Amino acid sequence: MNSSGARTIDATAFLAEYPEYGETTVLDELRDTEYAYLDEQRQVYLDYTGAGLAATAQHRAHDEWVTAGCYGNPHSDNPTSLAATARVEAARAAVYAYFNAAPEKYAVIFTANATAACRLVGEAYPFDRSTALVLTADNHNSVNGLRAFAAAKHARTEYVYITGTELRVSEQSVRAALSRRSLREICAATATRGTRRRGLFAYPAQSNFSGVQHPLEWVELAHEYGFDVLLDAAAYVPANTLDLEAVPADFVPVSWYKVFGYPTGVGCLIARRDALARLRRPWFAGGSIRAVSVRGGWHTMAPGGTAFEDGTANFLAVPDVEHGIDWVRGIGMDVIRQRTRCLTGWLLDRLAALEHDNGMPLVRIYGPRTMVGRGATVALNILDPAGAVVDERLVARESSAAGLSLRTGCFCNPGSGEAAFGLDRTALRRMAGRQVRTIDEYVAAIGLPSGGAIRVSLGIASNFSDVQRFIDFVGTYRNRPCDGHELPPREQC
C-alpha cells in the first residue's frame, strides 16, 4: 500500500476515534486561505509553543490602519500623538475584555514580551529577609530568573519539585512549601499583624516543556497562605481561555506572538492594582514618572500601571494586539482548543505504539500520555533499537531537511528537563562549583544521554496531515542504528 493509501486509512481511524474533530472544519477553511502560505511553501509547522502563526488577515489589518492615518509619539497632545494614544488604549481595552479583567481591579502594562513582564515584577517586588519566593520546578527560565532578585534582597527561595513520570507537581508539596515559615517570617508577621504578604509564588498555567497544565486553583490556595501569585500564562493562552475574575492571579505575563503570531515584540503584564501598589521600582524612566528634579534629586512615579511602562510604547505594533484578539475571538478559543486536543491525543497514541522489530519502543514521551490535564505540547526523544536516545542534533538536521519545523534542546525549562531525565540533585549541585568549557562537556558531566529532547506543539493552523507527517518522520528511525554521525558541537542548551 502506498503512503497516500495508508494516510487515508489513518485519517478514517482518526475521525472514528475523535469525531469531535469534525466540529473544527472552520480551521481547515482558514488553513486553505489565511494560512495558505504553509502549504504553498510545503511547511509543516510544529512549534506553536515557540511562536504562533499569523493569519494573512492580520497583516492586511495592519497595512490598512497604518496607511489610513498619521501617528506620532503618544506622550503629547498633538493630533498624531492623540491618534497613536487612541490606538494603544483601544488595544489595552481589548486585553481587559479578553481576560475579563476589570480595569478598576487590574492594570494592563505593555512590555516587549512575557520575559520583560516577569522582570518588571522581579526587580520591583518587596523581597527581604522575612519574605520567600516559592517556585515550581516546572518553570520557564524567565520565571526562574526571579530568584536572582530574591537573592539580592536576601529573601528565601524554595522550589516545589516535580514527581512521577507525568512530570506534575503535587498540591501537597505546594501546600507544604507555602505553609513553611522561617523564624524571620514569624517575627515579621507578628510585628505587622498579618498585613503584609509573605512573598511571591510563581508557576506556569501550562508547562512549555511537557504540556502539563497545573491547577489554576493554586492561585487562591497561595492567597490563603498569604502569597502574591505570578501565573505564567505564555504557553497556556494560545489554546485556552483565562478568566481573571475567576482566577484572580496578581501578576500574569503574556507574549502576544505566542497567541496569534503577529505582532512580535509586544507582550504585557496584567497586574492586580492592589498587588502593583506593593511593588517598588528600582529606577525611573521617561513615560513612567509624574515629575522629577535634577537639582532637587527627587522624583515621583506616575500612578498605577503607567509607572511600569518605560519609554515610548511600540505604537505601530501595540494596536495590532487588538486585531489579533479579534481574530482568535472570531474563530473561538473552544474551537482551537478542541482541534489541538484531538490532534495531540492522536499523536500521543500513535507515538506510544511505535516499536522496532525487536519490540523496543521507538519513542520515549516525557509527561502525560493522555489528554487529562495537559495541553498541545509534547516532549519526547527518539530511541534506537538498543534503547539509546538518538542525538537531538541529528533529529534537528533531518527534520529540517524533511520540511518540519519543530524544537529541540532544553526549551529554557531546566527543572522539567532534570526531572524527565532523572538527574541526581547531588550531582547537579556539584556542578555549581565546576568550570565547564562547552555545553557538550556539561552534558557529559551530569550524565545526560543527549542535549535535550524534541518538542512538538500544535496550534491554530495545525491539521491531521501535519501530525501524520511527523509520525511518518519518526518512523524513518525504525530499526535504524543512529551512531557514527558527525554532528556540530552544541553551542547552547
Judge contact between 215 and 204, C-beta under 8 A.
no
Do 122 and 168 lie in one domain? The reply is: yes
Asked if the structure places residue 433 within a domain, the reply is: yes
Do 446 and 431 lie in one domain? The reply is: yes
Asked if the structure places residue 423 within a domain, the reply is: yes
According to the model, what pLDDT value does residue 161 have?
Answer: 96
Torsion, CA 8, CA 9, CA 12, CA 16, rounded to 10: -160
pLDDT tens across 261-273, in order?
Answer: 999 999 999 999 9
pLDDT tens across 36-57, in order?
Answer: 999 999 999 999 999 999 999 9
CA distance 462 to 340: 7
Do 322 and 350 lie in one domain? The reply is: no
Structural domain boundaries, residue 349: 11-53+332-476
| Residue 379 belongs to domain with CATH number | 3.90.1150.10
According to the model, what pLDDT value does residue 482 have?
Answer: 81
* Percentage helix, strand, coil for the chain under 3-state DSSP, each rounded to 5: 40, 15, 40
Domain total in the chain: 2
**Of 311, 330, 349, the domain-final residue:** 330
Do 325 and 340 lie in one domain? The reply is: no
CA distances from 422 to 164, 352, 367, 447 (A): 10, 20, 13, 10
Phi, psi of 230 (to 5 degrees): -100, 115
Task: Calculate mean pLDDT across residues 175-199.
Answer: 73
Task: Calculate mean pLDDT across residues 214-232.
Answer: 98
Do 345 and 314 lie in one domain? The reply is: no
According to the model, what pLDDT value does residue 490 have?
Answer: 72
Asked if the structure places residue 68 within a domain, the reply is: no
Q: Is the pLDDT of residue 296 over 90?
A: no
Do 179 and 320 lie in one domain? The reply is: yes
Asked if the structure places residue 59 within a domain, the reply is: no
According to the model, what pLDDT value does residue 434 have?
Answer: 67
Do 103 and 26 lie in one domain? The reply is: no
According to the model, what pLDDT value does residue 58 have?
Answer: 98
Closest CA to 468 of 351, 370, 318, 307: 351
412 is catalytic: yes
Do 21 and 78 lie in one domain? The reply is: no
Q: Is the pLDDT of residue 29 over 70?
A: yes
CA 45 to chain centre: 17
Do 154 and 139 lie in one domain? The reply is: yes
Task: Report the alpha-carbon angle 425-431-432, nearest 5.
Answer: 100
Q: Is the pLDDT of residue 178 over 80?
A: yes
Q: Is the pLDDT of residue 3 over 80?
A: no
Do 249 and 371 lie in one domain? The reply is: no
Mean pLDDT lowest among 29-33, 123-127, 441-445: 441-445
Q: What is the pLDDT confidence band of residue 63, given thresholds at 50, 70 and 90?
A: very high
Q: Which residues pair with 245 in a beta bridge?
A: none
According to the model, what pLDDT value does residue 132 have?
Answer: 97
- Residue 359: how many other CB atoms lie within 10 Å: 7
Do 224 and 163 lie in one domain? The reply is: yes
Residue among 70, 118, 410, 412 flagged as catalytic: 412
Q: What's at 347, amino acid-wise?
A: L
Judge contact between 392 and 452, C-beta under 8 A.
yes
Asked if the structure places residue 491 within a domain, the reply is: no
Do 359 and 447 lie in one domain? The reply is: yes
Asked if the structure places residue 66 within a domain, the reply is: no
Instruction: For residue 150, give the H/E element and its range.
Output: helix 146-152
According to the model, what pLDDT value does residue 205 have?
Answer: 98
| Residue 234 belongs to domain with CATH number | 3.40.640.10
The secondary structure of residue 481, as a DSSP letter, is -
Q: Which grid cell sits at 170?
A: 503535587
Task: Calculate mean pLDDT across residues 115-133.
Answer: 97
Judge contact between 452 and 411, C-beta under 8 A.
yes
pLDDT tens across 407-465, in order?
Answer: 998 889 988 988 888 887 777 777 666 666 667 767 766 667 676 899 999 999 999 99
